Amino acid sequence: MKSFVMAIVLVTGGMSLAHAASTSCADQATQKKLSGAAKTSFTKKCMADSKATAADQCAAQAADKKLYGAAKTSFVKKCVTDASK
């Protein structure tokens, strides 16, 4: 799933991670012909997984920038928030 979300991010260029994930989650639900509660449940889990992926990617970026402590926490929090817009 992580590589799929990463591929979507690379393909979409400037789109935020959450927007790309929400589109792909909706597309996946449509492809699986889900409706009602099954679609809602699937989309909710898919979005949660993409948010976790965003947090992992932001933490990796913080490590690349050699941020620690409060600076790392602040960076990751802002990065995840920006990704979910």
Task: Give the model's confidence band at 39: pLDDT under 50 very low, under 70 low, under 90 confident, else very high.
Answer: very high
7 vs 75 pLDDT, higher one? 75
**CA 55 to chain CA mean position, Å:** 8
Question: pLDDT (tens digit, 9 = 90+) per residue, 62-83?
Answer: 999 999 999 999 999 999 888 8
Contacts (Cβ under 8 Å, ≥6 apart) of 85: 16, 18, 19
pLDDT of residue 85: 66
Domain boundaries, the chain: 2-83
Residues 41 and 35: their CA atoms lie apart, in Å, by: 10
50 vs 67 pLDDT, higher one? 67
